[in-house]
A and B are shown apart, each in its own frame.
Chain A
Amino acid sequence: MFWRKKLTEQEREEKEKSYWSYVKRQYKKNKRALFSLYVIMFLGVIAIFADFLANEKPILASYEGTISSPVLKSYAVGLGLGQWPVHFQNVDWKKDVNYDWVVFPPIPYYPSNLDFECNFCSPTGEQPGKTTRFRHWLGTDDLGRDVTAGMIHGTRIAFMVGIVAMGIACFIGIFLGSFAGFFGDTEFKISRIRLVLTLITAFFAFFYGFFARSYLIADAIMESSLSFMMTMLTSIGIFVGIIALVNLLVVPPLKKIPFLGKQVTIPLDIILTRMIEVIVSIPTLVLILAVVAIVEPSIIWVMIIIGLVGWTGIARFIRAELLRVRHLEYIEASTALGFSRFRAMVKHAIPNALSPVLIAIAFGVAGAILTESILSFLGIGVPTEVITWGKLLSLARTAPQAWWLAIFPGFAIFITVTMFNLIGEGLTDALDPRLKQ
């Protein structure tokens, strides 16, 4: 049996490979989309290595014979795993330390570094006291903060917002969309007792998971985002655990009673469509603005809120795909082999329906990045000390003479959003050649 199983797995892998290699070939034909992908990869590299590209700290420094990397060290210090040696504590990295030799990052500034000698330094004009090495290549803002550094670290924030927000949206969208699509309005049947007990336990589970712990959660928010996440995870664990426990232990014996065991149909598709209608009925930006306005300004909240609002597109895509897939032969075959519908959905239907979700993700990331830059531009929800593209662009409004603040950050937003949109279009064409116009 062992070899047989291995073989089928191999076969499946090969099939998958051939499908994806087909998609890849199709995608590569589209030069615009391919170019966009490379640009995004390039920006992704900038986002990942932002600390090495623009930083006040040296990448490598030799001090009294010992060689160290302050940039790497700052990660350790940030995680609480190390401490700065005395000669590096609270220093101006460029002036205070007598290095034997030193390698600064290409842009030797951190976005929040103030340079009082150089307010609104123009990229083309004279920059007093700056050698070529320490020149502000894209100028500075009102406080002398380097725009290049802000742009590089802004890339990181933009990508983080895009990825985290879409991660949350994917989780919700795939979960809800696949249930609604696979079971439709008629095929999700559960016994009366399970329905009633689950609803009742949901009440109790919510009480013990969240209500009874609400002060713990509130205190955790005050403490740190890490402890908040841990408390939240525990709460979710309690919530899910109680419901699962009742469903696994209490429901099966009671189901044997004929009246309680009678099946009722739950119209999952109608429920999901109504939910989506509620969300899309509120203009997205207005909703996000209103929600952001009642929480403490934090980039984390911005990501979470964009994610919580942005799942509808993904849910629609996967729902439509599963509505099509659910009656295909291979799903019927899995049912005929005696596997549960649930297993057929998770193991066979969803993996085959995920490819169109990629399209929704590409457009979704573009939307999330745009929303974040609008929020930063308006100065709502994003803390003032965080430098983002939108924040830099908004500075141009107060200082019309600083044309570099109007051009560069906006260009970065435009390029990133457009490239993600082009990738989305490319994927649309590659995944379904029929749609190509």
Chain B
Amino acid sequence: MAQLQNLPDELQLATEAHVKYIQSLDSRKDEYEYWLTEHLRLNGVYWGLTALHLLKKPEALPRDATIDFVLSCQHENGGFGAAPGHDAHMLYTVSAVQILALIDAFDELEKRGKGKAAVGKFIADLQNRETGTFAGDEWGEEDTRFLYGAFNALSLMGMLDLVDVDKAVDHIKACANFDGGYGLTPGAESHSGQIFTCLAALSIVGRMESVEADKLGKWLSERQLPNGGLNGRPEKQEDVCYSWWVLSGLAMINRTHWIDRNALFGFILRCQDTEKGGISDRPGNMVDVWHTLFGLTGLSLLGYPGLDEIDPVYCLPKSTTQRILGSKD
């Protein structure tokens, strides 16, 4: 890793700028964009907070205010919305659980929230008991993102027994394609994001036996393009967020060495705004907190110096998942 210290300034990780950028996100209430993205607020807190933990600045957002905000998004039925007044949905419920896991605050859910049992029930009720997959909310849209979210949150709360794991695993198998990858639903094209959700769900329940690791590893490694960045599907453009979706998949099948580490480091670091902080999808574009997190998780998975280690299955720091689930090694 010594050679990284010799990289030009723009290829050093601008840690301080990124911390400031994330801290500034909630003070942008005079920007129209802040209000247009309210439907992502709770996800945004998770993205920002996880990024800060990776940057080893876990205290950079106030813990109490974070818990207050998370709980203000909870509904009577246990589910969480994106912000107060927004409907409950799997995507936000998972973010809420992840945030509380990250800051070790499950007890607050019991003290001041609706309790873990209600959250678990909200999630479990979204399982389609016939096919095993999960809906996002009461309106019934189903895809593997929600299945993964359910496994992620329930396992962190120790409540996986509320759902039919075997059926869900069968459903994931039905989403597999000839190229070794997985799609959003049975029949859908392989996509790196869905490969992450399917592999991580299988990892959580220790059911990786059906994964065609060599075939999938080949497909995932072919995502790296000459500029070092990764794309999400064949013949598409690179994007920093795939640094996470592709790389975490490779990590779960122990093949991160099938792509070029330094080339990806270079690509992610070129996407930084070194002055004002944040990481963008491609060099020179607008930064956002989502790409900031997934740039950092990519760097972390490949062992970039000075970053906390990320868990490829949960997208939480390993220190967090080890505290909650015990060491898997």
A and B bind: no
